[in-house]
C-alpha cells in the first residue's frame, strides 16, 4: 500500500461523499448549463438558417383573382426585368390555371345549415418546361413523381381545401373544361409560401394528351405566377420591394408580391440578438459554476485546513500537497463531466425548440456540442488548479502552527 498524493486525493473524493456530492452537483449544473444553453441557441440559429436558405429566399408573384380568368398575364419583358434585379438568383415563371375537383360527400356548416360542396377549385400548373413549375423546386416528401401519361398529380399543398383529402383516392376532376379521373402520386415538401398559391402539379404529358396542344397552351401557356429566388435571405426584402415597384410601373394591379417576412425577420432578430443571448446565458452559467465551485471548494477544504498542515508536518512537500488537492478536485471534475455529458446529451436529445415561419412553425432538435463540454472541462481544470494553489499558498503564508491550531 502506498499513500501518494494522488492516491490520497482519490480516497478523499470517494470517501467524503457528502462534500464530494455537493461539489459534483454544482459542477454538473454549471457544465450542463454551459453546454446545453448555447447549443440551443446555435441549433436555433442553424435550423432557422437552413430553413431560410431552403424556403425564405423565395419571393412569389401571384395573381389575386381566379386564375381561369386572368385578364392580365405577365409579359416576357417584365420577367426579364425581374431577372435583372440585383440580388435575384433565378426567376421561374409559371402558368397557373384552375383544376376543379368534384367532392362528393363534402359538406360545410354555414349559419347552422349543412351545405353540400360538390366541387372545389384548386390552383394548378404542370411540372417542368418553360411555363411549368420548375423541377428544381420540386422535392417530394412522400410518394413518387407521376409516371408520364398516367392519370396522376403531385399535391403541392399541406392538405386539400376545406380539409378534403386528395391523397390516395381516385378523383373526378376537370382542367380547361376537360373531365378526367386522376389520383395523387405523391406530395411535395410543403413550402407554405408556394403551396398556398399552387396546390396541384400535373404531369405535363398527361395534360398535353388530355387537353390537346391548343387548349393546353391556352390553359397553362400564359404566365400568371412567378417564383423568384433571391441569392440570400438578406436580399429578399429589397428584391421584393423592387419587384413590387416593377409591377406597379407595368400596371399589374391584380398581382401581389409575397415573401416569408416572418422568417426573414426571425433570422435577422436571432442573428442580432437571441443567439448571442444564449451564448451569454451559457457564459453566465459557467461563471456561476466557477464561483460556486470556488466557494464550495474553499469551504470544503478550509473547514479542515489542518489536513494540509498535518501532511507538511509529516514531511510532505508543498508540491505533494498541491498534487493532493488537485487530484481531489480533478476526480470530482471527471465524475461531474461524465454526468454533465449524459445530462446534456439527454437534454438536447429530448428537447426541441421551434420558431414561427410563414404559415406555421419549424421545430429544431438541439445538437449536443462537444466543443463546449471540452472547453468547460478545460476551464474547470484551471479552476481546480487555482483552488489547489490557493489552499497551499494559505498554508505557506499562515504557517504550520496557525493552520494546525484550526483543528
The residues of the shown chain that bind other proteins, judged by CB under 8 A, are 1-4, 8, 11-12, 15-16, 304, 306-307, 310-318, 396, 399-401, 404, 407
* Closest distance to other proteins from the beta carbon of 393 (Å): 13
CB-nearer residue toward other proteins: 312 or 377 = 312
- Nearer Cβ to other proteins (25/404): 404
Q: Give whichever of 230 and 395 is closer to other proteins, judged by the CB atom.
A: 395
* Side-chain half-sphere exposure of 79, counting CA atoms within 13 A: 18
Sheet containing strand 58-63, strands side by side:
88-94, 225-230, 58-63, 255-259
- The CA distances from residue 349 to 35, 231, 342, 373, 377, in Å, are 13, 33, 10, 16, 21
Shortest spacing between CB 319 and other proteins, in angstroms: 10
Least separation in angstroms between residue 317's CB and other proteins is 5
- When the beta carbons of 2 and 214 are compared against other proteins, the nearer one is 2
C-beta of residue 134 within 8 angstroms of C-beta of residue 227: yes
What is the Cα–Cα distance from 352 to 333, expressed in whole angstroms?
A: 29
* Cell 400568371 -> residue: 224
Strands 152-155 and 97-110: unpaired
Instruction: Output 283 or 400, the one with its CB closest to other proteins.
Output: 400
CB of 10 to other proteins, least distance (A): 10
**Rounded least distance, CB 316 to other proteins, Å:** 7
Taking the complex as a whole, how short is the minimal distance between the CB of residue 402 and other proteins, in angstroms?
9
Q: How many CB atoms lie within 10 A of CB 342?
A: 12
**Between 12 and 229, whose beta carbon lies closer to other proteins?**
12
Rounded distance between C-alpha atoms, residue 37 and residue 266, angstroms: 19
Amino acid at each position: 500500500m502506498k499513500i501518494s498524493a494522488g492516491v490520497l486525493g482519490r480516497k478523499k473524493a470517494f470517501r467524503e461523499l457528502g462534500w464530494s456530492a455537493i461539489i459534483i452537483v454544482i459542477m454538473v449544473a454549471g457544465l450542463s448549463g454551459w453546454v446545453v444553453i448555447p447549443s440551443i441557441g446555435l441549433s436555433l440559429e442553424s435550423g432557422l438558417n437552413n430553413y431560410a436558405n431552403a424556403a425564405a429566399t423565395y419571393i412569389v408573384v401571384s395573381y389575386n383573382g381566379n386564375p381561369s380568368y386572368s385578364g392580365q398575364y405577365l409579359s416576357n419583358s417584365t420577367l426579364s426585368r425581374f431577372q435583372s434585379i440585383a440580388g435575384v438568383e433565378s426567376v421561374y415563371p409559371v402558368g397557373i390555371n384552375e383544376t376543379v375537383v368534384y367532392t362528393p360527400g363534402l359538406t360545410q356548416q354555414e349559419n347552422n345549415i349543412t351545405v353540400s360542396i360538390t366541387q372545389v377549385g384548386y390552383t394548378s400548373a404542370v411540372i417542368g418546361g418553360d411555363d411549368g413549375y420548375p423541377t428544381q423546386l420540386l422535392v417530394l416528401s412522400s410518394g413518387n413523381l407521376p409516371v408520364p401519361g398516367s392519370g396522376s398529380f403531385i399535391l403541392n399543398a399541406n392538405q386539400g381545401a376545406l380539409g378534403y383529402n386528395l391523397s390516395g383516392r381516385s378523383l373526378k376532376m376537370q382542367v380547361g373544361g376537360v373531365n378526367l379521373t386522376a389520383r395523387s402520386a405523391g406530395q411535395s415538401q410543403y413550402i407554405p409560401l408556394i403551396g398556398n398559391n399552387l396546390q396541384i402539379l400535373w404531369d405535363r404529358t398527361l395534360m398535353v394528351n388530355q387537353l390537346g396542344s391548343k387548349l393546353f397552351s391556352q390553359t397553362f401557356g400564359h404566365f400568371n405566377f412567378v417564383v423568384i429566388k433571391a441569392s440570400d435571405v438578406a436580399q429578399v426584402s429589397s428584391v421584393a420591394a423592387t419587384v413590387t415597384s416593377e409591377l406597379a410601373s407595368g400596371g399589374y394591379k391584380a398581382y401581389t408580391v409575397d415573401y416569408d417576412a416572418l422568417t426573414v425577420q426571425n433570422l435577422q432578430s436571432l442573428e442580432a440578438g437571441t443567439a448571442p443571448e444564449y451564448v451569454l446565458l451559457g457564459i453566465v452559467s459557467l461563471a456561476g459554476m466557477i464561483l460556486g465551485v470556488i466557494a464550495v471548494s474553499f469551504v470544503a477544504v478550509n473547514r479542515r485546513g489542518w489536513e494540509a498542515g498535518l501532511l507538511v508536518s509529516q514531511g510532505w512537500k508543498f508540491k505533494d500537497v498541491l498534487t493532493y488537492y488537485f487530484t481531489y478536485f480533478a476526480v470530482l471534475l471527471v465524475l461531474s463531466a461524465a454526468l454533465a455529458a449524459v445530462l446534456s446529451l439527454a437534454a438536447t436529445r429530448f428537447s426541441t425548440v421551434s420558431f414561427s415561419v410563414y404559415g406555421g412553425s419549424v421545430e429544431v432538435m438541439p445538437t449536443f456540442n462537444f466543443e463546449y463540454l471540452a472547453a468547460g472541462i478545460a476551464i474547470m481544470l484551471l479552476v481546480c488548479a487555482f483552488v489547489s494553489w490557493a489552499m497551499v499558498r494559505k498554508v505557506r503564508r499562515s504557517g504550520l502552527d496557525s493552520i494546525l491550531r484550526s483543528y
